[in-house]
Structure 1
């Protein structure tokens, strides 16, 4: 395994620009059609940012894909990048509406794709997923924080991105984790390895809304 440690020094000054349109991306602002509303709100927030500064490179780490789409619309030659922690809509969410699917009994929307209201919700989510995928196809460089996120983004954005020759592959960039203090506190030697117990520590995020189950 290759271990690389690097320090980045910012020689030039760093300036923070404060935005005033944050309310537009809050879920409470959009009690109905929340996914679409927050996505449109991110474009308003991006417009607020662009009115203060026209970027040379625009990178989003908040999950605002539609803000990146607006950047491409306004500034076609500006390179864009996305570091995705969690997709706005996932294939698991779409499947959860179907009571007969493997995840149809999980999450807050489990099995709600039946009836008139359920069918309308299914159509709304499917249309939004297509719009989300189309916007994602315009981003130059896409990175995810895990293989789980990569698989979902690849499933949604991949088909749209493959039609564009300039699109880069969706890469996984794991968040940096400092282990130096742990190495100092925990002995790792030939003697300690002989006394090692078969113990598994599993740390993860489990969200009922997407139907993830705990591992026992």
Structure 2
């Protein structure tokens, strides 16, 4: 009994000492920040008394992908509607300048940014959030690394509002503790989901659950425990946010489920440890709001709907937003299923193999390194094994005009990824005038390939057989039905997922209510 009392006393003293030291460090940090803030606003030629700073945590802001389009479109909207706000981007792109990034944003996305309402805090420790740094326990390693990166960010500049736009929810604790400001997020994809737990629990082999793990009861139970603990603290992180925006119904459903997630054992243990100080006074998120990402469909929506060739087109992640950085070999895109479905189509409907009705499958994407090259070669080998190589064409690292030309020629856009959180590639197919055939899950099912004015805009499938049948259905439409479906798909995509719609939803969200009021 005496030992227990002594242990509790020591623990209480250590906890109190740590809390006092944290408060002292926080006070010093915030004192130094007043000078940094004044210097920044003076550099931008702004009155420090009336300006507010919104910080965007986006370590890869110069990557040119779909997440970056969301970031820059949001900042451009703020610049147009909130003249007293300066956007500050926390970036790990230390090899470029502010001017370089602004120029690239204009060239890549055709988004013009005002340099007097934008600045960057360059972070030197981005390597700590790269998956290559954490060979094992990658989720945990990257999350801890993001907390370190957030510490570097706050030690350089504290904004009035912090918004994570890359999915680093564990940074919320650091920002709350050190800066004492409200935090929010735009979530593209949950770091961990109930689907991931269920796949480990059912010992289902997946690209996130290797054969070594799924074939072992002991390793599966260990990984399940790891995921349960991680999920618990991920939920705690999300609940510490003041607001959460998400990119689709699928992501919203998963984030809302995570926000409600609890674990009796971990709840009990958590009360025994002084983690309550992690909670911020602004943390109140109980649900997420959908703000669909902006898709630039202006150029491709002008392609003719007629004269299309019998080409089934597929590519990986964010064609227009990522251009030459699309990766043909990403395993979650499940390209082998595309090849097998196409093989089944030719087997069930031999007419597609003859010269008059010949159909071609074209796979477009990028190859970054030897590992990518090996995976692309495995797809070529599978095509040969299936005996369909004569009807397959691989377009690797194609220039932008070449990809545009394929979009203008093709008839069908194919996407087989399971639980695609949104599906910008599917939106781009539809805007370009292709008929989409997408997996019956995620964003393509719930948000994108949905009826427009009560009529179909494309097809869904969930197996090799159903994908083959959906492709046959799309290829068998009459001329009038074909044109009508292409037009519906285009109209829906352009109308629902435009930059203007994103800006309307962004401005209508509650993020501005957490900014300090200025006179």
Given the two structures, how large is their TM-score scaled by the length of structure 1? 0.75
Give the conservation status (yes or no) of the 8 Å contact 2:246–2:290: yes
Matched, 1:30 2:134: yes
Give the conservation status (yes or no) of the 8 Å contact 2:123–2:152: yes
1:84 aligned residue: 187
Higher helix proportion: 2
Give the conservation status (yes or no) of the 8 Å contact 1:84–1:145: yes
Matched, 1:97 2:178: no
2:418 aligned residue: 212
- Aligned residue for 1:51, secondary structure, equals helix
Pick from 173, 177, 197: which aligns with 2:291? Answer: 173
Q: Report matched runs for 1:1-216 at 5 Å.
A: 8-9=79-80, 10=114, 12-76=116-180, 78-99=181-202, 104-109=204-209, 112=214, 114-159=216-261, 166-167=284-285, 169-186=287-304, 207=332, 212=418, 214=439, 215=461, 216=467
- Aligned residue for 2:175, secondary structure, equals helix
Higher relative contact order (CA 8 A, sep 6+): 1
Give the conservation status (yes or no) of the 8 Å contact 1:97–1:113: no
Following superposition, the deviation at residue 165 of structure 1 comes to 9.0
Say if 1:113 and 1:54 are closer, same or farther in 2 by CA, change over 3 A.
farther
Larger deviation, residues 59-68 vs 151-160: 151-160
Separation (CA, whole Å) in 2 of partners of 1:131 and 1:26? 20
Which whole-Å deviations, capped at 9, do the CAs of 1:61-110 have from their partners, x for residues lacking one? 1110011221122233x12111111111111111111337xxx3444416
Given the two structures, how large is their TM-score scaled by the length of structure 2? 0.34
1:3 aligned residue: none
Separation (CA, whole Å) in 1 of partners of 2:232 and 2:151? 23
Separation (CA, whole Å) in 1 of partners of 2:183 and 2:148? 18
Say if 1:142 and 1:165 are closer, same or farther in 2 by CA, change over 3 A.
closer
Separation (CA, whole Å) in 2 of partners of 1:23 and 1:204? 25
Higher strand proportion: 2
- Aligned residue for 2:244, secondary structure, equals strand
RMSD: 3.3
Decide which structure has the larger Cα Rg and report it: 2
Give the conservation status (yes or no) of the 8 Å contact 1:142–1:169: yes
2:444 aligned residue: none
Give the conservation status (yes or no) of the 8 Å contact 1:63–1:85: yes
Give the conservation status (yes or no) of the 8 Å contact 1:63–1:83: yes
Say if 1:142 and 1:90 are closer, same or farther in 2 by CA, change over 3 A.
same
Separation (CA, whole Å) in 2 of partners of 1:47 and 1:39? 13
Give the gaps of 5 or more residues in structure 1: 1-5, 193-199
